[in-house]
Every structure is written in structure tokens, then in C-alpha cells.
Amino acid sequence: MKLYYYESKTGNFGDDINKWLWDELKPGFFDCNKDIRFSSIGTIINKGMPAAKKWIVFSSGIGYGYAPKGFGNESWDVICVRGPLSASILGLPDNKYITDGAALLSTLAEFKPLPEDERDGVIFIPHHNALDTGNWEEVCNRAGIEFVNPTLESKIVIQKIRHAKLVLADAMHAAIISDAMRVPWVPLITSGQINTFKWLDWTKTVNLPYMPIVLGSSSLKEFVRDKLLFLYGEKYFVPSLTEKAALNKFKIHRLMKSNFLWRYYFKAAKILFYKIPMILVSMLGARFVSRKDENFINLATEKLSEAIVSKAYLSQDSIFFDNQKKLEIALSNVVKKYTE
């Protein structure tokens, strides 16, 4: 069977794990047979999934639209989805979710969790979209925190997490992998693009609350971009942070984006409310923009410094390892079923 996952043009460590994880867990099982596809780690259950005679869903999530036509019929073998919100949207029972498949990372010898006395330092991993207009590397320099670029090769990022004392996580998979490495993490928000639905979908599987610290913007361009996200449907943050509100937001976005006119609106709106505003900010003059950026960097540095001493999270060993064991058993059953 052929693996299916999202491949970012610039690279994104959370998605890129799929390139090697499954082959290392089950060597020789996966191939290029497109008749049977394996939907793996990521928010990838949507209408864009290619046709196949058989689909196997293993720890994937939904988060941006409708499931493919016929989802759940005899051509779909839904082993498990990422969490309860994905299960709810897809009309699946509670026994059809476990947790994110990245929890299996620590079953590999290469990523065995380290004792606390062998870990050191604080790292910050932003969402990959925060790189577009943010100054987060400079913010980290001023706060005395190591900046980890989410577009780095995934094994490098995982080892950075594995060796850290604390992970400040804007990227959801920074938190998920930290939990797998048994490293405490703090959830952060750099912009309204951070998806509350996805975060709650995962945190509920490890019985933890989702209470992120809002960092704010680190540049004038990032500030303007953040304020206009809602105009082209990319504001996913839900201030109330409740499951009900996140589900409602998801359904509203799904309905809005399923309209046949949406793609035309989105194309125009992205130009009007992203590209043009970025050009206009650049036209304000280097000195003015630099002065504003300095203010944003200083405020973001204060917030990031506060995050270091704020409440950190780590799931209970019993909960994490129970989820991990369920994933291991489920994956072994898939291999057994499809090699007979």
C-alpha cells in the first residue's frame, strides 16, 4: 500500500515525519501500490484525497473541509482518527479515535526519551506560517531561547525536542512530539491562524486542557496579516477554547468554503487582503517599519520570556503509554490483515 500525507513545498517537520516513520516501524510493508492507500499523520482527511480501491485511515485528522464522497463505506477501513473532534465531524464512535500517530516515535530506539538530567535548554518552535512575516528568530535571541526552524529536516527537529528541558510550542506537532519524548511543553499562539480545532482534537486524547499563551505579533507585517486573516478564511483560533465553539467554527468554515464561488473569492481576497497590504507596509519607509518592528519584537520578547516560567504540560505516563500501546496494536493488526 502507498502512504498518503501532506508534502509542504518548503518542508514542515510534522508532516515530513511520514516520509520515514512508517517504513522504520514496519520495514518493507509500504510500497507504491496506489490501489490501497494509507492515510497517516496530519490533517489530511478531505475531498482532495485521491481515488483508491481501498483507503486505510490511521490517526489522521480532519480540519479544513468535508470528507471524501463515500467516506466510511466498504472501501474505507477507518482504523482510528486523531481525536474526538475529528470523530464527531466524521460521524464516528468514540472507539474510533486514539491519538496522533507521532506518539509512536518514542518506540524507535533512535528517539527513546532521555532522562531529565540529560536534557538542557528551552526551545521555541513556531508554526511554519509564522516564518512568512515574523521576526521570531530575533525574538528568541533576545529572550535567550533557541529558535528551531520548523522547516528543518524532521529528525533534526525531533532530536532538538528530545534534548530540551522545555519546548515552547506554536506548532502543534512540537507539542505532540514533546509529549512523545516526555518533555514538558507550553502551547503558544503567534497568530489567529493557529487552529483551535486541531489542538483540542489532540489535547483531549491525552486528557490535558488547551490554554495557550497569546504571544502577539513580532513585526508590523505580521500584525497586519493577523488582523486580516478572517477576510480570506484563514483565522482558525477560537478565543473561548471550547470543544463546542471549535466544532461550530469548523462547520461554519466548511459551509463557507464549500460554496462554488469560494475559490474565486479566495483568490481575489488573498491579493486584496494579504499581498497588497504587505506591499503597502513596505511602502511606509524602512525607518518607520523598523521602528514599529522594534516595538513588536520587544513586546513579543517579554511574552516569550513569561512563557518560560508559565505552567508547562505533559500527559500522565499511564495515559500516554496506553495510547501508544493502542496505536502499536492497531498498526500490527493492519500489517497482519493486509499481508494475508
For the segment 90-96, the average pLDDT, to the nearest whole number, is: 96
For the segment 172-181, the average pLDDT, to the nearest whole number, is: 99
Q: Residue 70 belongs to what domain range? A: 2-100+319-337
Closest C-alpha to 46, from 90, 99, 92, 96: 90
Residue 72 and residue 169 in one domain: no
Residue 58: beta bridge partners? 80
Residue 202 and residue 284 in one domain: yes
Residue 152 and residue 268 in one domain: yes
- Torsions phi, psi of 82, nearest 5? -65, -45
- Contacts (Cβ under 8 Å, ≥6 apart) of 268: none
Residue 123 and residue 217 in one domain: yes
Residue 47 and residue 111 in one domain: no
Residue 262 and residue 175 in one domain: yes
Report the predicted TM-score, pTM, of the whole model to 2 decimal places. Answer: 0.96
pLDDT at 85: 98
For the cut 90, the answer to whether the pLDDT of residue 63 exceeds it is no
- Contacts (Cβ under 8 Å, ≥6 apart) of 85: 197, 200, 201, 204, 243, 246, 247, 250
- Separation of alpha carbons 175 and 52, rounded Å: 32
Q: How far is CA 21 from CA 14, 103, 320, in A?
A: 11, 11, 19
Q: How far is CA 45 from CA 4, 6, 50, 91, 338, in A?
A: 10, 10, 11, 13, 21
For the cut 90, the answer to whether the pLDDT of residue 340 exceeds it is no
Residue 327 and residue 291 in one domain: no
Residue 55 and residue 165 in one domain: no
Q: Name the domain count of the chain.
A: 2
Residue 172 and residue 211 in one domain: yes
Residue 296 and residue 156 in one domain: yes
- For 104-153, what is each residue's pLDDT tens digit? 999 999 999 999 999 999 999 999 999 999 999 999 999 999 999 999 99
- For 66-88, what is each residue's pLDDT tens digit? 999 999 999 999 999 999 999 99
For the segment 1-7, the average pLDDT, to the nearest whole number, is: 95
- Torsions phi, psi of 247, nearest 5? -65, -40
Residue 273 and residue 248 in one domain: yes
Residue 151 and residue 7 in one domain: no
CB 90 within 8 A of CB 134: no
